[in-house]
C-alpha cells in the first residue's frame, strides 16, 4: 500500500509505514529520526503512535524543519494532520 510523503507540498509516494520520502527523511536530524522510529515501533501494534506525544512532536518538528529548509526560516509547514493530532494529544494529556 502506498501513501504520500508528509513533507509540505511533496507528492512523492512512500510505502505504508513510512513517514517521508527518502530525500525528505535525510533532511531530518538523526535524533528526531530516532525518536520517530523508536516511538512508532513501540506503539504501532495498536496505532498508539497516533496519540503518543513524543512521536507526534518529533513528526511535527521534522515537517516544520523541512519546510524551513526548503522555504526559508519564516515559513511554517501549516497545520497538517500531525499538527492536529499533536494538539488533540496535548489536550488529552492535560485532562
Question: Cα separation of 46 and 49, whole Å?
Answer: 8
Identify how many contiguous H helices and E strands the chain contains and give both numbers.
4, 2
What pLDDT score was predicted for residue 65?
92
DSSP of 49-90: GGG-HHHHHHHHHHHHHHHHHHH-TT----S-HHHHHHHHHH
Question: Cα separation of 67 and 55, whole Å?
Answer: 19
pLDDT by residue, tens only, the chain of 95 residues: 789 999 988 999 999 888 999 999 999 999 999 999 999 999 888 888 889 999 999 999 999 999 999 988 766 656 788 889 999 999 999 87
- Check residue 48 and report its DSSP letter: G
Query: pTM of the prediction?
Result: 0.88
Amino acid at each position: 500500500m502506498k501513501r504520500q510523503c508528509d513533507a509540505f507540498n511533496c507528492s512523492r509516494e512512500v510505502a505504508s509505514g513510512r513517514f517521508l520520502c527518502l530525500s525528505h527523511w535525510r533532511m531530518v536530524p538523526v535524533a528526531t529520526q530516532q525518536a520517530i522510529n523508536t516511538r512508532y515501533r513501540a506503539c504501532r501494534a495498536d496505532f498508539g503512535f497516533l496519540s503518543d506525544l513524543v512521536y507526534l512532536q518529533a513528526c511535527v518538528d521534522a515537517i516544520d524543519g523541512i519546510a524551513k529548509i526548503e522555504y526559508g526560516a519564516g515559513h511554517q509547514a501549516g497545520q497538517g494532520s500531525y499538527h492536529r493530532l499533536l494538539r488533540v494529544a496535548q489536550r488529552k494529556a492535560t485532562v
